[in-house]
Structure 1
Amino acid sequence: MLDFQRHIDMQAGMKNHNCDICGKVFTRKGSINLHIMRIHAGVKNYNCDVCGKAFTLKGDLMRHMKIHAGVKNHNCDVCGKAFIQQGNLMRHMHIHAGVKNHFCDACGKAFTLKGDLKLHMDIHAGVKNHICDVCGKAFARKTDLMLHLEIHAGVKNHDCDVCGKAFTRKQDLMRHVDIHASVKSHLCDVCGIAFTQKGSLKLHMDIHAGVKNHNCHVCGKAFTRKRDLVRHVDIHAGVKNHFCDICGIAFTQKDSLKLHMDIHAGFKNHTCDVCGKAFTRKRDLMRHVDIHAGVKNNFCDVCGKAFTRKSNLKRHMYACWHQKS
Structure 2
Amino acid sequence: MDYTGAAITNNECDVCGKAFARKKSLKLHMVMHAGLRNHTCDICGKAFARKKSLKLHMVMHAGLRNHSCDVCAKTFTQKGHLDRHMKMHVGFRKLTCDVCAKTFTRKGSLNCHMNMHVGIKNYKCFICGKEFFHESTLKSHMIMHADIKNFTCDMCGKEFRRKSNLNTHLTTHVGIKNHECDICGKRFTHSSGLKYHMDMHAGVKNHKCGICLKTFFQKGTLKQHMEIHVAVKNYKCGICGKAFTHMSGLTAHMHLHSDTKKHKCDICGMEFHKKHNLEYHMNRHAGVKNHKCEVCGKAFVQKSKLKRHMELHEGVKNHKCYICGKSYARKDSVKSHVDKHADIIGGCIPTKSTKK
Specify the TM-score bucket, using the shorter chain as the normaliser: 0.3 to 0.5
Q: If each structure's helix is expressed as a fraction of its own residues, which one has the higher value?
A: 1
Higher alpha-carbon Rg = 1
TM-score, length-normalised on structure 2? 0.39
TM-score, length-normalised on structure 1? 0.42
Higher RCO (C-alpha 8 Å, min separation 6):
2
